[in-house]
Chain A
Amino acid sequence: MSIYKKDVEHIANLARIKLSEEEKTKLAGELSAILDFVEKLEKVDTSGVEPMTGGTVFPSEMRPDSQIDTSIEDRQAEMLIQAPDKKEGWIRVKAIFK
């Protein structure tokens, strides 16, 4: 499968990663090669096969919708230490709306 520079640009935008021109060219080649490798899967007859959507064949487990973790209470200040940009107890981001 050939991946061209414009495909790389589209994917990089979806992935929110800025790439240099050099990186775009390199990735186009590498992704093409890897996709050629994985395209082998086309040969497998998967008619009637259910996709395996997780790490097990067991159904999803539910739990009651109630709090189980109290260890994080009153630790907002600590969590905020990690954020690069904050103000008055909030994490600050650049404006989305003008």
Chain B
Amino acid sequence: MGLNGLTITEAAAGLRNKEFSARELVRECLQEIETRDQELHAYLEVFADAEEQAKKADNIFAASSSRGALPPLLGIPLAIKDNILIEGKRCTAGSKILENYIATYDATVIKKLKDQGAVFLGKTNLDEFAMGSSTENSAFGPTKNPHDSSRVPGGSSGGSAAVVAGHMALGALGSDTGGSVRQPAAFCGIVGLKPTYGTVSRHGLMAMASSLDQIGPLAKTVEDAALIFRAIRGKDSFDATSAASNENNQLLINNDRTDFLKKIRIGVPKEYFGAGLDPEVKAIVESAVSKLQKEGAQVKEVSLPHSEYSLPTYYLVVPSEISANLARYDGIRFGYQKNGDNLLDTYLETRASGLGVEVKRRIMLGTYALSAGYYDAYYLKAQKVRRLIRQDFERAFEKVDVLMGPITPTPAFKLGEKTNDPLKMYLEDIYTAPLNLAGLPGISIPAGKVVLEGKSLPVGVQIIGPWFQEEKLLGVAKLFETLLKRE
């Protein structure tokens, strides 16, 4: 494994110590892409100008008299999920309707990464318009899990997860509406963070469900995820739902913190350990909790009584918002157009040809839930239950500092295993979706492996933090990661 096997933290140190150049780092990532991506299909596009971007970073390193003061992500090769806009580059959302769409502006997160001088290697595959839990809904073919190519990498940020796990970039951005950063991170054995709703600007992220969407990092370590998160967070005048985060709190890897973190109160929601959870996954998650308990953490069972209503709430609120957000794909101002006899026909034909099956399904569901006569019974009702779900978490956080539980009911499933029944696929979101409804931050970290058909498959554990306390969340995650490495 070459330089592409490094973490961001290691690469940043190496670049500053002049052990290698950004160009060499990028080149080795590109070589890995050439070797592996034919099979994995994690990238939808690899940028021809990647080495050119790296050259700019090398020039900055060369001209600097104080390399230590340079931004942490300078020269670091990252991959970007293809629903985040990079100006001048194609952005497809994994859909035929945007197959040739070229972005006309940078997403705020992209601007922030460009300000640090990060290098973008390309755009990664996703379920169409971020709708899915396996990346099988991409109009351009699925992505394979680097641990077992007969299995899914998860979704919808499956491409980003496979890129990081396959060492085809040092980090990536994904988006998470119901688990789409955390679940693929778990299936691919890497770290995935969904920040508190509002912490990271959604300007330039193709909207799926505006009251749940968040952009988050996928990386090899907690420290790497923290570096990316700190680069992209912040209040943005272009996103009215964005909020200033606690940016002064940088106590992640501070020794004094370790003592505090060791005595942390961990809540384990009893509803998350019921039927449907694979016994081997359950054992790994329970073992993760006891590891922290042995270090001094206080573990309490908590209850989130409305848990069983999370998925029904999610699958009403989200399709409703989807139906509104995807109305713009009508073939008039941008994207694919299929000509009809009149304007109405143009809309009908364009959307019929350009949008995929799952996308249509959710638009239809949402349109129905919002339509006259049904709005109160469905959408309004779901919004009320959503508040109750959020209140469950508020109550839990009065007694504990963080919550821990599974991310996925099983390890990565096989390609094609869940595609014949939409409800089967929706159940994948059972542990992740509640956080998006409540707006909470959550991190997925590797916690163990399960052997299936001779292949070793990663299993993740989820740590859930209180609103706007990502540093605490990252601290606990880092502690756990350290404990796991010790074994």
Contact = CB atoms under 8 A, between A and B. Distances in A.
How many residues of A sit at the interface, in one of the four size bands? 35 or more
Contacts of A37: 311-312, 315, 423, 426
Contacts of A87: none
B355 A52 contact: no
B197 A55 contact: yes
Interface stretch (B112-120, B161-169, B381-389): B381-389
A15 B355 CA distance: 12
A7 to B, nearest CB: 8
Interface in A62-98: 63, 68-69, 71-72, 75, 78-79, 81-85, 91, 93-96
B385 A11 contact: no
A55 B212 contact: yes
B348 A54 contact: no
Interface string B349-382: 1011001000011011101100100000010111
B440 to A, nearest CB: 11
A14 B327 CA distance: 10
B333 interface: yes
A78 B88 CA distance: 10
B351 A18 contact: yes
Contact of B315 (A34, A52, A78): A34
A55 B439 contact: yes
Interface SS of B by simple majority? helix
B237 interface: yes
Contact of A53 (B306, B383, B426, B439): B383
Contacts of A52: 383-384, 386-387, 390
B337 A84 contact: yes
Interface string B309-323: 101110110000001
A68 B237 contact: yes
Interface in A1-17: 3, 7-8, 11-12, 14-17
Given A38-B312, A44-B388, A85-B337, A15 B367 contact: yes
Contact of A16 (B197, B211, B330, B387): B330
Interface residues of B, number: 67
Interface SS of A by simple majority? loop
A51 B351 CA distance: 32
A91 B332 contact: yes
B104 interface: yes
B365 A44 contact: no
B348 A38 contact: no
A41 B104 contact: no
B439 A56 contact: yes
B358 to A, nearest CB: 10
A7 B368 CA distance: 9
Nearest to B329: A16
Nearest to A62: B240
B368 A56 contact: no
A61 B240 contact: yes
Given A17-B360, A30-B422, A78-B104, A11 B315 contact: no
A82 B333 contact: yes
Contacts of A34: 315, 365, 422-423, 426
A58 B199 CA distance: 13
Contact of A15 (B323, B383, B426): B323
Contacts of B258: none
Contacts of A72: 105
Contacts of A16: 327, 330, 344, 347-348, 351
A46 B384 contact: yes
A30 B363 CA distance: 13
Contacts of A83: 332-334
Contacts of A57: 390
A49 B388 contact: yes
A31 B365 contact: yes
Contacts of B346: 93-94
Nearest to B306: A44
Given A8-B364, A56-B241, A84-B337, 12 more contacts: A3-B368, A11-B364, A16-B347, A17-B355, A17-B360, A17-B364, A31-B368, A41-B381, A44-B388, A52-B386, A63-B240, A93-B346
20 contacts: A11-B368, A12-B364, A14-B367, A17-B351, A17-B360, A18-B349, A18-B352, A34-B422, A37-B423, A38-B312, A38-B315, A44-B388, A52-B387, A53-B383, A54-B241, A56-B439, A79-B104, A82-B102, A83-B333, A94-B346
Interface of A: 3, 7-8, 11-12, 14-19, 23, 27, 30-31, 33-35, 37-42, 44, 46, 49-58, 60-61, 63, 68-69, 71-72, 75, 78-79, 81-85, 91, 93-96
5 nearest A-B pairs in the assembled complex, by CB-CB distance: A51-B383, A18-B348, A82-B334, A46-B384, A84-B337
